[in-house]
């Protein structure tokens, strides 16, 4: 077995995620350590499995999506790691994924900031071909619910990718009837909640994605301010 592929993993080496990865490798690790906080390796393992689940949702495996996955791992883990992970990923894509069990494992070990980051990245994958399929939105919504992410947090992230006339308000977790005071308060709370420092434990590269989300929140606030002359 390529044991180094398990390097840096904690809780993700066991449970449903570990079983999927182990099956893809042709063997299972008996090691099963539990960590109370998500680390980069754990996050990467979870993303491999959930990337596969989302890509299979519309019954099409697209080159643009594979390129997104490859780019994600290169930026966050490096080229050598990515080459091996992409080979593993192709085998994971051939499996039937029990999303409910996988999400149950994630829910037990990820903090809320990591969960928000995860959903944000999954929406990024679904938009890789500039066309977010309804089946992809459905499975990402199911994943968010199963990992214990609140509806308001989910709607906020979704609005960053699926735009409509009220997207700016949804990003702030509000509707268009919100008062000026409610808008200002929501922005301050979200600016704190989504600050890149909240995911610093996942590693420096993950902070870049958090910065994009932070920018979306600020852009939404600035747009509403301009509309309302605040």
Average pLDDT over residues 22-27: 70
- Dump pLDDT digits (tens) for 123-182: 999 999 888 888 999 999 999 999 999 998 999 999 889 877 788 888 898 888 899 999
Expressed as residue numbers, the domain containing 193 is: 3-228
Quote the DSSP letter at residue 3: G
Whether residue 53 is predicted with pLDDT greater than 50 in this model: the reply is: yes
Other CB atoms within 10 A of residue 17 CB: 24
Whether residue 33 is predicted with pLDDT greater than 50 in this model: the reply is: no
pTM of the model: 0.72
Q: Give the model's pLDDT for residue 229.
A: 82
Which pLDDT band holds residue 31 (cuts at 50, 70, 90)?
very low
Q: Give the model's pLDDT for residue 37.
A: 52
Which pLDDT band holds residue 36 (cuts at 50, 70, 90)?
very low
User: Which is higher by pLDDT, 50 or 2?
Assistant: 50
- Give how far Cα 27 sits from Cα of 43, 47, 111, 160, 202, Å: 21, 20, 29, 40, 27
Q: Give the model's pLDDT for residue 6.
A: 46
Return d(Cα 147, Cα 183) in angstroms, integer.
28
**Range with the poorest average pLDDT among 10-24, 48-62, 122-136, 208-222:** 10-24
Domain total of the chain:
1
* Rounded (5°) CA angle 84-85-88: 95
Comparing CA positions, the residue from 45, 53, 52 lying closest to residue 21 is 45
- Dump pLDDT digits (tens) for 67-120: 999 998 888 778 887 887 888 888 899 889 999 999 999 998 888 888 998 999
Average pLDDT over residues 3-11: 55
Give the HSE-up count for residue 120: Cα atoms under 13 Å, Cβ half-sphere.
25
């Amino acid at each position: 077995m390529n044991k180094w592929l398990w390097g840096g993993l904690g809780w993700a080496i066991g449970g449903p995620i570990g079983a999927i990865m182990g099956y893809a490798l042709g063997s299972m690790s008996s090691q099963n350590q539990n960590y109370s906080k998500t680390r980069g390796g754990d996050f990467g393992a979870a993303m491999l499995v959930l990337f596969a689940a989302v890509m299979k949702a519309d019954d099409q495996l697209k080159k643009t999506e594979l390129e997104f996955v490859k780019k994600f791992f290169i930026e966050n883990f490096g080229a050598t790691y990515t080459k091996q992970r992409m080979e593993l990923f192709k085998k994971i894509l051939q499996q039937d994924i029990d999303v409910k069990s996988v999400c149950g494992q994630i829910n037990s070990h990820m903090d809320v900031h990591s969960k928000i980051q995860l959903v944000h990245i999954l929406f990024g994958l679904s938009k890789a071909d500039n066309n977010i399929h309804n089946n992809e939105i459905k499975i990402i919504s199911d994943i968010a619910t199963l990992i214990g992410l609140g509806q308001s947090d989910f709607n906020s992230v979704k609005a960053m990718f699926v735009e409509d006339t009220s997207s700016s308000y949804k990003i702030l977790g509000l509707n268009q009837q919100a008062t000026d005071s409610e808008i200002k308060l929501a922005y301050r709370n979200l600016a704190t909640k989504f600050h890149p420092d909240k995911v610093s434990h996942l590693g420096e590269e993950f902070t870049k994605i958090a910065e994009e989300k932070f920018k979306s929140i600020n852009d939404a606030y600035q747009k509403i301010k301009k509309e309302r002359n605040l």
